[in-house]
A and B are shown apart, each in its own frame.
Chain A
Amino acid sequence: MASTTLSTKKLSVPTSRFSINWRKWIGVIPFFLFALFFLILPSTRILTGSFFGSEGQFTLNNYVELLTVPTIVNAYKLSIQISAVTAIGGGIFGFLLAYSVTVGGLPKPLRSVLITFSGVASNFAGVPLAFAFVATLGRVGFVTTLLKDVFNINIYQAGFSLYTFIGLALTYMYFQFPLMVLIMAPALDGLKREWREAAENLGASPFQYWTQVAMPILLPSLLGAMILLFGNAFGAYATAYALTGGRLEIVTIQIGAQIRGDVFHNPGLGYAMAMGMVIIMAVSLAAYSWLQAKTERWLK
């Protein structure tokens, strides 16, 4: 009996695959249509546009210019630098914070305070964030004045300015390290108590435990999270624009200028710049998910 049902099932599959199966896809068609019109088509437009010159001819020249025109190369360099600095800085600081509330021995209630605050701060970006930092570290900002009046340190005379690389990096940090906390806290929770106990029983010092047991397990997730932070900063536009008014020429600012009015006098070059960003973002997302899959094996 069982064998006959099995065999009829096997027989019926090939015939029904083409006649009936399309109907079960009906429920997901609206989603695919939406994605097609508002995600795939716009992305394709950027991809195809990047292969056309200013006279409408097919060309690879835009990509050559992407790698040779100094203003563009410098914009990419600046964007990569600021994303890397805030990803590494925010990553380390966020990790230490996540450590302090998970395995670091701080009282339990502080953990939920930190997680909630991180949720808010990692979502508090764009124009309000830029204004908040102007009020903090601007020329007459709260901290600037405090340092001047109380400690007699004039940071602006010492060469600091909020509207430069360092200022933007400090501003980005406000949404970078909270994101790190949100990613790393669950990962640190995944460190099993048994591992620590086993290491201690074998005579390992805390230092040995961290460098030889915990870190090797956490490293992929740590790196992955930092890569995510990198992409997070790399795609940022509103915060940088609101803070520096477009004076700090990172890639997103240049693309913004290109959308406003063809500053390169070549629409294709603008599209090629956008493609360059998409490629960098795609590579970092792929690296992130690869590293994430590696950690999941341990931290279940």
Chain B
Amino acid sequence: MNVLTRLRRFPFWSWIWFALGALYFILPLLATLEFSVSWDPADPLKAYTRVFAEQDFWETFLYSNLLAVATILVNVILIVPTAYWIRLRVPEARRIVEFITLLPFVVPAIILVFGLIGVYSSPFQVPFTELTLMDPLTTTKFGTNVLIVAGYMVLAMPYMYRSVDTGMRTVDVRTLTEAAQSLGASWFTIITRVILPNVRAALLSGALLTFAIVVGEVTLASFLGVNAFGPYLFLLGQHRAYEPAALSFFSFILTWIAMGLIQLFTGGQGQAAGTR
């Protein structure tokens, strides 16, 4: 092969596009990192030590993580049996359930929280009477937590459902169920000890994606008045300079870890979610 053909084979434009893409990816991160360590030349990690010493940071960050865990748990409890039951008994429900799991794409976070506040900020009454069935959820701390977890479940639903459903496609749910039943297993045992372990990888990637959505989410949290990490970071950005940059970089590392783990468990196909 002479030099000319080799030169022609060299994917010049592909390298250009790749280099441009890499620049676009890396520059904002580099800039954030650079800014976050430029507070005090004598102590580059000053912004990080400052912000990690703040109690508010730990409180809100821990709280957001708890919300994420609650969202993941309840979503698993809701979606795994549903997907399982659809495969086993009511395949005719598949279309409508899939349609519902796609609805969150049509109803973005800002609209969802608007509707949630519209419904749950006034008491539930029996029509035409003064009988109150339920107090407004937005006035109590517990009620707000219920609302925000439910909201996050809705936002994460498309990803969770799809990854669980894909996971179940690869296992023979019917045979597994019949085998378990013939050994005398109850429904609870079948779901927790037969089905769940079989869709472990799918659940894990759904859970990590949910985690990436929930920690740092700001729209639902701020409109429902919840002291989560997202609103904290936003407020910090209003009156500080270096700490928000440090936390932004920290958030990026977290997203990176979550996505890296998903890659590890699912082997290749990237996923996208998130609240913009």
Contacts and interface: CB of A to CB of B under 8 A. Distances in A.
Are A and B associated in one complex?
A: yes
A136 B27 contact: yes
A285 B98 CA distance: 14
B215 to A, nearest CB: 11
B265 interface: no
Interface string B211-236: 01100111100010000001001100
B79 A31 contact: yes
B127 interface: no
B154 interface: yes
Nearest to B238: A245
Interface stretch (B52-60, B62-70, B165-173, B251-259): B251-259
Interface in B136-151: 150-151
Interface in B72-116: 78-79, 81-82, 84-86, 88-90, 93, 97, 100, 102-116
A271 B32 contact: no
B82 A30 contact: yes
B78 A27 contact: no
B5 interface: no
B195 interface: no
Contact of B260 (A32, A116, A236, A242): A116
Bin the interface of chain B by size.
35 or more
Given A127-B237, A128-B248, A238-B230, A120 B255 contact: yes
Given A27-B81, A135-B245, 9 more contacts: A42-B114, A42-B116, A120-B260, A129-B28, A135-B35, A231-B105, A232-B276, A238-B218, A238-B219
B45 to A, nearest CB: 17
Contacts of B217: 126, 238
A101 B102 CA distance: 30
A186 interface: yes
A57 B110 CA distance: 26
A236 B109 CA distance: 8
Contacts of A35: 100, 103
Contact of A238 (B82, B209, B275): B275
Contact of A255 (B36, B114, B116, B216): B114
Interface stretch (B178-186, B196-204, B266-274): B266-274
B245 A97 contact: no
B25 interface: yes
A143 interface: yes
B176 interface: no
A235 B31 CA distance: 27
A130 B92 CA distance: 44
Interface stretch (A6-14, A62-70, A103-111, A190-198): A103-111
B102 A37 contact: no
B244 A131 contact: yes
A207 interface: no
B156 interface: no
B258 to A, nearest CB: 8
Interface of A: 24-25, 27-28, 30-32, 34-35, 37-39, 41-43, 45-46, 49, 93, 96-97, 99-101, 104-106, 110, 112, 114-133, 135-136, 141-143, 172-175, 177-179, 181-182, 186, 231-239, 241-242, 252, 255-256, 258-260, 270-271, 274, 277-278, 281-282, 285
B272 A128 contact: no
Contacts of A38: 116, 150-151, 153-154
Residue from B78, B151, B216 with most neighbouring chain A CB atoms (10 Å): B216
Contacts of B104: 39
B273 A123 contact: yes
A190 to B, nearest CB: 14
A127 B255 contact: no
Contact of B153 (A34, A106, A121, A125): A34
Query: Interface on chain A toward B: helix, strand, loop, or mixed SS?
Result: helix
B107 A281 contact: yes
Contacts of A256: 110, 223
B118 interface: yes
6 smallest CB-CB distances across A and B, nearest first, come from A42-B115, A235-B108, A27-B85, A236-B276, A142-B31, A119-B270
Contacts of B100: 31-32, 35, 39
Nearest to A288: B105
B276 A235 contact: yes
Given A120-B256, A126-B216, A259-B117, A39 B82 contact: no
A130 B84 CA distance: 40
A120 B116 CA distance: 29
B276 A126 contact: yes
Nearest to A124: B255
Contacts of A43: 103, 107, 111, 115
Contacts of B213: 123
Contacts of B34: 135, 142
A114 B32 CA distance: 21
A20 to B, nearest CB: 11
A142 B30 contact: yes
A274 B31 CA distance: 36
B93 to A, nearest CB: 5
